A and B are shown apart, each in its own frame.
Chain A
Amino acid sequence: MTTDRISGSVLILFALSVIWESRALPFGTFRNPGPGYMPVLLALALLILSLVVVWRGRSAARVGSINSGELSHAVAILGACLFAAIGIERLGYRFTVLVAAGFLLKVVERKSWVLTAALALALAFGTFYVFYTLLRVPLPIGPFGM
Chain B
Amino acid sequence: MTGRILQSPMVETLQNLYLGFTVALSPAVLLYAFVGCLIGTLVGVLPGVGPLAGISLLLPASFGLDATSAIVLLAGIYYGAMYGGSTTSILMRIPGEAASVMTCIDGYAMTQKGRAGAALALAAVGSYIAGTISIVGLMFLAPPLASFALRFGPPEYFALLLLGLLVLAYMSGGSLPKSLAMAAVGLLFGMIGIDPMTGYFRFHYGLVELGDGIGVVPVAVGLFGLSEILLTAGEATPREVVKPRMRELLPSRQEWKDSVWPIGRGTFLGFLIGIIPGSAHIISSFVSYAVERRLSKHPERFGHGAVEGVAGPESANNSATSGAFVPMLALGVPSGPIPAVMLAAMMVHGISPGPLLIAQQPELFWGFIASMYVGNLVLLILNLPLVGLFVNVLRIPYPLLYPSILVFCVLGVYAVNGSVIDIWIMMIMGALGYLLRKFDFETAPIVLGLVLAPMLEMSFRQSLSMSSGSYVIFVNRPIALIMLAFGLALLLLSLRPLVGDNWRRALGLQGSAGLEEEKNTYPVSQKEGKS
Contacts and interface: CB of A to CB of B under 8 A. Distances in A.
Given A60-B440, A81-B426, A105 B470 contact: no
Interface residues of A, number: 72
A25 B181 contact: no
Contacts of A33: 460-461, 464
B61 interface: yes
A137 B415 contact: yes
Contacts of B200: 25-26, 34-35
A141 interface: no
A60 to B, nearest CB: 7
Given A46-B181, A89-B420, A3 B440 contact: yes
Interface pairs A-B: 10 shortest CB-CB = A31-B469, A70-B234, A73-B234, A35-B195, A46-B184, A35-B200, A109-B399, A74-B230, A49-B181, A85-B423
Contacts of B460: 33, 38
Given A31-B470, A49-B180, A71-B234, A42 B418 contact: no
A78 B430 contact: yes
B112 interface: no
Interface string B416-440: 0010100110110011001010111
Interface stretch (B4-12, B86-94, B185-193): B185-193
B403 interface: yes
Nearest to B411: A127
B516 interface: no
Contacts of A13: none
Contacts of B418: 138
Interface in A104-127: 104-105, 109, 111, 115, 119-120, 123, 127
B476 interface: no
B191 A70 contact: no
Contacts of A36: 202
A36 to B, nearest CB: 8
B252 interface: no
Nearest to B235: A70
Contacts of A30: 469
Contacts of A123: 403-404, 407
A127 B177 contact: no
A85 B440 contact: no
Interface string A80-99: 11101100110001000100
Contact of B427 (A25, A78, A100): A78
B470 A35 contact: no
A12 to B, nearest CB: 10
A43 B188 contact: yes
Nearest to A36: B202
B1 to A, nearest CB: 56
A37 B411 CA distance: 37
B509 interface: no
A128 to B, nearest CB: 9
B57 A82 contact: no
B150 interface: no
A77 to B, nearest CB: 6
A105 B400 contact: yes
B403 A101 contact: yes
A85 B403 contact: no
A16 interface: no
B181 A42 contact: no
Nearest to B434: A74
Contacts of B408: 127
Contacts of A137: 57, 60-61, 415
Interface in A124-143: 127, 131, 134-139
B188 A46 contact: yes
Contact of B406 (A42, A61, A77): A77
Contacts of A45: 180, 184
B45 interface: no
Interface string A24-68: 011001111111111100110110011011011011110000101
18 contacts: A4-B440, A7-B441, A11-B185, A30-B469, A31-B470, A37-B461, A38-B456, A39-B188, A46-B181, A46-B185, A49-B177, A53-B177, A53-B178, A73-B230, A78-B430, A78-B431, A104-B402, A138-B418
B188 A72 contact: no
